[in-house]
Structure 1
Amino acid sequence: MAYQPKSYRKFLAGTVSAAVVASAIAPVASASFTDVAGSVHADDIATLVAKGYIKGYADGTFKPNKTLTRGEAAIIFSRILKDAGFKAPEQGASFPDVPASKAELAEAVAIVKAAGVMGGDEKGNFNPNANITREQMAKVVVEAFKLTKPANHTTKITDLDKAGSWAREYIQTLEANGVTKNTEFMPKQNVTRGQFASFVVRAMDVKKEASAADITAVKLVDEKTLEVTFNGELKEVKKEDFAIQGVEIDSVSIKATAAAEAKTTVVVIKTKTALQEGKSYNVSYKGQTTDKAKVDVPVVTPKVESVSAINAKQIEVKFNTKMDKDSVTDVTKYAIKRAGVASVALTNNSSATDATASLSEDGKTLTITLNNALTSPTWSIAEGDSFNFEIGKLKAANGKEIEAQSVSIKYSDKVAPNLVSATAKAATTTRTVTLKFSEPVDFATTGVFKVNGQVATPSAGSDVREVVLTTSQSLTAGQKYTVEVTNLKDLAGNLITPNPVSLDFTVTQDNTADGIDSVTVQGDNQVKVVFKEPMDSSTVTAAGNIKLVDANGNAITNVSVAPVANSNNKEYTITVGQGTNLYANADTNTVNVIFTNAIKDASGNAITPETRTVTFTKDKVAPKVSKVQLIAPGDTYDGVAYANGALLLTFDEKVLRPADGGTPGNFTKSKIQVIDQDGTVITDALFSAGATISGTVLDSKDNAKLVIPFTAAPASTVKTATVRLVASAVTDASLGANGNAAATVTGVDFTTSVADTQKPVISAASVAGGSGNTITFTITEANLDKSTVLDINNYRLDGAPLPDGSYVTINSVGSTHTVTVHLPAGSISKTRTNYAFTISGIKDKAGNTADVVAVNNVSLTDDVQPVLTAGRLNNDGTITLTYSEAVTGVAPSDLVVTLNGKTVASTALTVNNITEGSDNGGSLVKIAVGFDDGGDGASTGNEKIFIDVAGGTAGQYDAGTDILLATGTYANAAAYNNGYILASDVVTLKVSTAATGTLTGQDAAGNKLANGKSVTIK
């Protein structure tokens, strides 16, 4: 069948909806025809006439009994199809007996043929004037409305054999769907116009069984709930009709059915199996599915998927979800740790460990570029070496965090670099060519570069993989040139391949500047401009090339423009300086930012003059102190060593100092006061006697932190302090220079340095099992956060959380801490020397996290008491007891035997260990009988066999107390079942371990049998 448009497929799938619409039309049209009144087809004729699918004649008649021709049927069905959105194909039907001059007929025949509803005969003719028979009509209606016949349908049509063999299935399909209702179908008779109307309306009324094709959407509600929307009304749903690969369905239910005119049903699927983040699932209905039945489960829990050194200068971190750009591109959150060397944090302040970071457009791949290669003396990591890449706490775009972690990387770079591209742009001529390689290359010490045979000078490009060549010759736009590179190596020493390598390039004609991409306000006095291409920075920053003018035409003065670092000259900031007329007496000002054609792109093309409008809002909020911390004497912070230490004040926004505008300098001492925990003012003891504090600096990264150095180190007696900062000691960076609010911060810790980057060290060799099922280990750390050590959740035993009741104690001597993890009694069921113990999450007060320590050689001893678990009465009257584990040495005094409601004296019991068979480790208990000869010492026939009951006279029958088993002639106790009870003597039997006291029975580890455990045997 030819392709059917979506609207037509929707029409076929939604015949229920069509029927509703059709039946909603009042059948009044029959009154307009003079010959329809009284016809059984009157209402159906009215329905189709009202929809415009069929028409009457000019004389006011409908002629319901007139036979229908194939051409008329084609025209009527084409109207139905066109109403559903089916369009006529560009090429006609190409039947020789359908002339193009009959436009309506030709279009109708083309439509029904393309839809697969009607076709021609074996000679290639359509026969538009031939009458259409009832069996032919059966085929046309079934094909048009895609009707199906149930497999178990039994026909009642009596003249089915008179139909052609090809038509019988179509006729039965009409019968199964109620489109024909007569038992005599008369397949060879012609169809009348009235019969046709009823055929079509009944077919429209057929309620199609829902299928997967009716699914219009699948919505994820939560990890165990989906909502599936069906086009059409579902009265009921069954769990077995739905399936999701790899997921067990718990239940299905109908949530809601929309209004009748919409006819949609929402089915709620509850799953037993949670849907996994980042995966896609297809819901199948009755064994089928479609693209619309697919649902993607978004990633909610962020994690690091992989970390790798992709070359000697770049480390790539892949995440499973989009990350927060500001969080992950802060390179100070990363560190490199080599074997035997302390972790070294990356920086972004031009030190030897300087690095930059960029996040991919999808937010899932972070590339960290090191200023110095891994193989350089800064890191000294050789080919094949492993090192740890340490990652601080990071935030995802959805606000969730990834905990700090350390990932082991094996560095290997044996891949040769490749020359990827050579590009040059010019309005007329240029002298620069940009080369891009597959990885960073060592262009400073290796490689010879030539452009058209002349040596060119290399320099760094805006991308770490780029090299910009400057040649003495002029390269003309539109001309082709060749660049050649010889003996160039990457930073791991791999020689470029092929060597030499040459590449042809054509200087791109660039006569048009692309212009401005965006202009956005930042703060109350700054605008960020992003151009669509790299610009000639000198023309963007030149005075007067960008102007700011208010709505009254007044020029804004003291405007400066500066490029944004690492933006490849595409991004710039426009800053309005202090003492301007930006706000006057208003709190907002709408300003025109005028870009003149003096601004040029990197090829020298002038931009088209453009004006953008922005609105500034005056910042009147004062900065506040959010935290005060100590930089300990001798520590380095932000690349500066502080011999005597310093105070670090963190504000809630960027700040400046009024005296120096934020540049390094002095700070007025009267603006700060420090008071120790005893209430003593120690400001003068910490700072020089002069009026100012020299060397005060702002954090180079974000200017939200102020470092105030000490002239003298704090006394060892100072543990905590209160720090007071007076109002307007600093200002924010706003145009109005809001001074800070006065602040008093109490409890500042003078024992922990914020500059502390050393992790606590846990000695793996010290981890060992101790007596009483304890585990000990040592930590070396001067400023240990003991709360993390005491947190029982930071330990795992054999991969599982520690048993309930476990606790931790610490014995500290200086910076060495001996930690003991106490496991509760009865928590170790087996004696082993290979328990696995894991320690994680141990931190110091500066937030540095110790490396995870995992050992597999901890020795712990079984301390679980064995328990009486079962017993059985044997045929010979003995009792077999079973314990939770192998037990030996059980004594009669360990057991309390209650027989026939009375407690048997322990002297009547004998207990033997069972050392073989299925009851290995159990006990065999015998109950001895007593013998009473009545005092005559002879067998008289009145001797008594009894069970001695506790509390009576031992060895003597106590009437009413002991259990009498038999009376007769017995020479001694052995005369009765060798001196022991028979199974038949037992009416009730219960065995318990003694409720109190230390029992003698024990397991292999010496754990005594548990008290007070009972089993009822009979």
Structure 2
Amino acid sequence: MDKKKAVKLATASAVAASAFVAANPHASQAATDVATVVSQAKAQMKQAYYTYSHTVTETGQFPDINDVYAAYNKAKQAYANAVAVVNKAGGAKKDAYLADLQATYETYVFKANPKSGEARVATYIDAYNYATKLDAMRQELKAAVDAKDLKKAEELYHKISYELKTRTVILDRVYGQTTRELLRSTFKADAQALRDSLIYDITVAMKAREAQDAVKAGNLDKAKAALDQVNQYVSKVTDAFKAELQKAAQDANAAYEAALTPKVESVSAINLKQVKITFNKDVDVTTAETVGNYTFPSASGLTVTSAKANGKEVILTLTNSAAQQQTADLTIENVKTVNGELIGKTTKSVKFLDVTAPTVASVEAIGPKTLKVKFSEILSTVPTFTLDDGTIAIVNVAFTPGSDEAVLTLGTQPASGTHKLKVKDGADYAGFKVEEVVKEFTFAADATAPTVTVKSASPKKIVLEFNEDVTNVMDANVEFYHTYKGVAAYKATKTLNGRELTLDFANPLPEGPFKLFLSYVDEKGAQIADLWGNKVPAQTITGNVTVDTVAPTVTKVEAVSNTQIKVTFSEEVTGGDVLGNYTLKDAAGNTVNLTSVSTTDNKTFTITTPTLNGGSYTLTIKNVKDKSINENKLADYTTTVSVKDVVPPTVSDLDSNAQGIQAQLLSTKKVKIVFSEVMDKASIENKLNYLFGGAALDSKVTVTAVDGNKAVILDFTDATQNPAGATIQVLRVLDAAGNPIAAASTDVQVPSTVSAPLFDKAEATGKNTIKLYFKEIITGAQADDFEVSVDGGSTWAQAGGLSNEVVDGKSVITLTTTNNIPTSVANVKVRTAASNVDAKNSFGVAVNLGTSGVSVADKYAPEMTVAVAKDLDGDNFVDTFEVTFSENLYVPSVNDSDFSIEGYTVKSVSVNGNVVTITVQEKTTNDLAATPKVALVGPVEDAARNVKASQDGITATAADAATVATAKANLNLTVTNPTGATSTITLPSTQDGATVTWAITSGGGTISNGTYTTPARTSSAQTVVLTATITKGASTATQTFTVTVGDNTDANSDGVFDNATTVVKN
């Protein structure tokens, strides 16, 4: 019997015995001794191990996992039964048997936290189950790849990556190298390979997202780092996700570029006559090729003669070459990106150094008898040329100093094949000669027509580029049109520079995709062709026009002094030099009257103001547009401007009617002195800063800062001095910024009697609302304490209501008036009642606004009162709405975007006093009867700069109705021959666009052919009523006129009657 067969037989016997023990533990114990039971259990445990290990070793295949589970469970049962037998039998070998069973069990079957080589079956089962789970993930990932589901693929990629990194150690714990290797090669290797094949795909996907997120968060450094990886790996992605990932990379790069602040990346000299500028964004060809946007200091002797843009690069060519090792500053300004962003003014140092000799870059046959030779740089002098050792004559060399190419005209056409051109001499602008060379090139006839592409496109200019030299471009037979072929208004003006053709248009192209038509007036006439005669066919060229749609922004506002504020915009603008487009208000909301505004570059504007005290001001800017064809408008902008306080404080005069600077006598022993601004507390509370009658204050006088350090109260209660009627000298006290009062001493007069509470101002804020501002707290106020006049003081009416609130430690009393206040607030006054005034300050002194009262300031915003539709051009379509406001408006505050009209598009607005004329887009159907609502949707201001933020729509009078109303108002009659026997009156048939018909509704006379003839005079006067019916569309109105026919009295018998016939409009 061979060894293998013996092993199998022994194994089978052990299995049978073990099965018996497992089924009949007590019978087994009775039938056999303990040693046999232990031996059989150990054999079963080993057999569980052999179930997987022998199969793998002998077949190279995995056993059925169900067989392994079955053997595993039998082994566990055999172990449990054997332990039970040993424990029951006891004896001297009990512990040894148990230890032997446990050791075998832990080696082959199971052990918690096993070491290498232990728990072999349990470890294998865990590893196999894990491996099949990993393989299921692999198959799922492969399915996602096949389905081109990048999102799912990325999710599974990360799951498998996690498994491979942290979990595949499970496979390494399996006992038996052959089994371990089979698990690895069958499951792990395939998963690893699939995962690794997608590493570039997932990296690009993740980093593209990371870049987008970083751009949104404003972290451009992080975005750039992510994009570096995207751009490095995107070319290596799999075909499955190539299109999607290329798009993601493109979008991420575009988002990053859009977020970049455009700038000059680098400037360097190519040679002594050319400079290369690199920007961080693609530049607009028009502004980038404007020579005036590049300047060197005049002392350098360098000027720019041409500029050529390509993407992010611009090559400048100088008029004169620089000196070797010359350094000069180059200033770059007014260059825009392709999206219309202005690149900030930049100055960079350029060092010119050229130590390299020029070389021949290429030789190309561009026609049957024409060669083009390209050099590595521009040359100052042309080389000499010899073709095929002089066997083919060169009859002309076309070369322009400063060019990097020469065009050779040959005497005869060379044969097809290889030829040799010898080039020598010639030099660059550093004086280095062209390296002598014999350049081989292939001469072959060209049968391919030139192609043309769009280099750049803007609303009024398209730049085309041919792929080779062409002729006949400027011939009159060659025409270009945009949008509509053959329409003269869209025909281009041509300018050719080398291979570049610039087309200029008087009428701009629309934004977005465009069509450009290349056409020939005569198909048999001259056509664009290369030098071989290959013609460019008539065709439609497409492209895209990008219009600057980016509105300008305010990039900086700073107070450069207390009389100047500098405003910087993101680009050149219009309207920045209009003073009315700026509103400056102090901290109290009062408008500061600006003096002037100036600029030197249409980008930075300096506003000159009156002397501003230190503190915070609010600047509002509106009605500013950029200089693009789109005229993008700045969104109304408001910011806070901090002005340094350099203005000396003063003592405020509290009674302008009394001579000198007046203090307030609060009581017989208390005096209040008020300053023009917030003061230094320690300074104004220092008694040494005050003199009483030229001497120091009594030591018992106390000085206390009040009103937020804008005033002090001097309390003489415990002093012998009596302040009433006295003079107090205020010395050079300091304001909060440390500025002292300019005068060495300021005399302040104390009233001889207790002062009325300090009143600040009165403001009308609505049709029936007046606010009274006091400089201290007022209590006890009643409505009958105050009277209001709306006619300049001629008549007065008691206030209808009152409320009192404390704002910043001071009272603001709001009166409700019984008479309506005009929005102009003209002739409005308020006064206190003649007696029994309950409104008093904390010292019990009643408010007193005088018998003639105080004027009320205008804080009442304007309102729309009437809107009228009009057809000014008489074509039966509404083209204008006239909106009347309650008062005159501040013209710069009114914009076309401030109004919304139901069913109409607002085109423009104009202002004249209190009337806003709104021009609208005409409709295509008669709308003269329309009565749309006109709403105020943006802020407008009155002449006092009070803001009306919005107003609900008011119904417009229809155009027809408005015409009728105008006609009725303007319709008048005149009597002809009023003292004759009979008189006539011409009756108009039309008036202001309306039709007028006439009738005699009372009295005599006749109407014929538009003329009314009176009846014959009689001994008494006669009364006639003429009625006009005025009609426009469906609108109609009537107007009557009374004609009084004079009697027949003729005292002189001269035929001129004494009493004239008259007509009166009723």
TM-score normalised over the length of structure 2? 0.31
Which structure shows the higher helix fraction? 2
Decide which structure has the larger Cα Rg and report it.
2
Which of 1 and 2 has higher RCO (CA within 8 Å, sep 6+)?
1
TM-score normalised over the length of structure 1? 0.32
